[in-house]
Amino acid sequence: MSEDSTESVGAIPDPVLRSIGFLAFFDRFATPPMLVALATFTDLSLSQAVQLVAVYALFYAFGQPLWGFLSDRFGRLTVLRLALIGAVLGAVASTLFISYVPLLVARAFSGFMFGALYPTLLTLLGDTRTGIDRARGLSDLQIYSSLGATLATLGAGAVATFLDWRLVFGIPALGAAAILFALAKVSAVPVVRGRFQLRRAFTVAAVGVYVIALMEGMVLLGALTYIVPALQHAGVGIGVAGLLATGYAVGVIFGARAMKKLVHRFSRTQLICAGGSVLTVACGISMLWPVPAVVTVTATLIGVANAVMHSSMQGWATDVAPQARATTVSLFAASLFLGGSLGNFATATLAETGDYAAIFGYGLLLSALLTTAATFGHTAWNRRHAEPATLG
């Protein structure tokens, strides 16, 4: 795209956008709560079940550069429709197998297709909103996305254990089909975008954001994967474990609502530092005391950190290269999920032996490093770009 371009984004109703966020997070969070059930009712071991989460995140990550380029080149709505079609196919395929390799392939494809959804929503917010309005939009999107995470965390394990694990993969297929039908009725409203400059997605500042996102994924997504298995290892039943793990969603909702006020009083740098500190505490307490009550608190604090730190990081990603916003946001998401995948692959053996204290210990070290790197990194970027003292 060598010239300014127009694309249809304004006609997509807010309920549809929120439904996409809900669906993306439901599918993303549905597998961890049923890891033990998958190891029980399929031919998979627990470590192989963990690898389903890891490969989903890996292909989610690897698909991001392609989705970002296609979004900048052909439009957000085109990418949404294509990804939803693939999401239907991947979710259906995930219900058809019980052996490791074909199920791994199905989840990899699902991760690749579902991976286009949420970053495209972030790009749409970056295209159409600025400043405090964008921060509020990100907080609203996190609330609806957290509801998807809540429902998946609360119900996936119980559905997989007491009904059929295939239902957990089948529900996103129905949701994606319904949203695809809703998007078919969307009419075109042109929105002007500036000149697309791919090289802007690979500046020193942008690459620095990707590296920080990689670290964030390793600890934020990596630790979150093990909340339900850690609770079960501590003797909690699957139904109660799913209920306790929804502390994550409670934390996200609380943090997202608080962010609407915090963005008026604190800079993005301060919010990144605060959220990272919360994440460090979350991992540290479960390293020391991996008992049900403490792991539940950890889940809640991870949710708060997600709402405060991660939403601030998302805002940074949408600002760091506006001339290639979709590509930049997609590479940010790719780095995040690549980090989550690497973290899960690295700790799968520890999960197999039940050493969750060590898993959270690694999370403590990484979160401390992450908080330091993100705070100083954003401070340096902020000095060059003269961001206001607060987002308001």
Residue 382, classed as helix, strand or coil, is helix
Give the max Cα distance, the chain. Answer: 61
How far apart (Å, rounded) are the C-alpha atoms in residues 163 and 366?
38
Q: Domains in the chain, ordered, with CATH?
A: 14-187+200-385 (1.20.1250.20)
Residue 156, classed as helix, strand or coil, is helix
How far apart (Å, rounded) are the C-alpha atoms in residues 335 and 351?
23
CA distances from 222 to 54, 96, 225, 308, 375 (A): 9, 27, 6, 18, 21
Residue 1 confidence (pLDDT): 37
Alpha helices in 320-355 (DSSP H): 325-353
Tell me what percent of the residues of the chain surpass a pLDDT of 70.
87
Type and span of the H or E element at 190:
strand 190-193
pLDDT tens profile 342-364? 887 788 788 878 888 899 999 99
Question: Which pTM was predicted?
Answer: 0.70
The structure tokens listed for 156 are 């996936």
Residue 132 confidence (pLDDT): 64
Residue 328 confidence (pLDDT): 83
What is the average per-residue pLDDT within 133-153? 73
Check if the beta carbon of residue 181 is closer than 8 Å to that of residue 57.
no
- Binning pLDDT at 50, 70 and 90, where does residue 300 land? very high
Check if the beta carbon of residue 109 is closer than 8 Å to that of residue 273.
no
Highest mean pLDDT among 54-68, 229-243, 346-360, 364-378: 364-378
Residue 6, classed as helix, strand or coil, is strand
What is the average per-residue pLDDT within 232-239? 80
How far apart (Å, rounded) are the C-alpha atoms in residues 309 and 315?
10
Helices (H) and strands (E) in the chain, counts: 17, 2
386 C-beta neighbours (distance < 10 Å), count: 6
Check if the beta carbon of residue 336 is closer than 8 Å to that of residue 152.
no
Residue 373 confidence (pLDDT): 94
Residue 386 confidence (pLDDT): 56
pLDDT tens profile 96-131? 878 888 888 999 999 999 888 887 777 777 666 566
How far apart (Å, rounded) are the C-alpha atoms in residues 174 and 169?
10
Residue 376 confidence (pLDDT): 94
Check if the beta carbon of residue 182 is closer than 8 Å to that of residue 119.
no
Selection from 326, 184, 212 nearest residue 279 by Cα: 212
CA distances from 65 to 4, 101, 326, 333, 339 (A): 21, 26, 9, 9, 15
Phi, psi of 190 (to 5 degrees): -70, 135
Q: What is the DSSP letter of 191?
A: E
Is the pLDDT at 277 greater than 90? The verdict is: yes
Residue 3, classed as helix, strand or coil, is coil
What is the average per-residue pLDDT within 130-153? 71
Residue 133 confidence (pLDDT): 64
The structure tokens listed for 121 are 């929503």
How far apart (Å, rounded) are the C-alpha atoms in residues 62 and 190?
30
How far apart (Å, rounded) are the C-alpha atoms in residues 154 and 238?
10
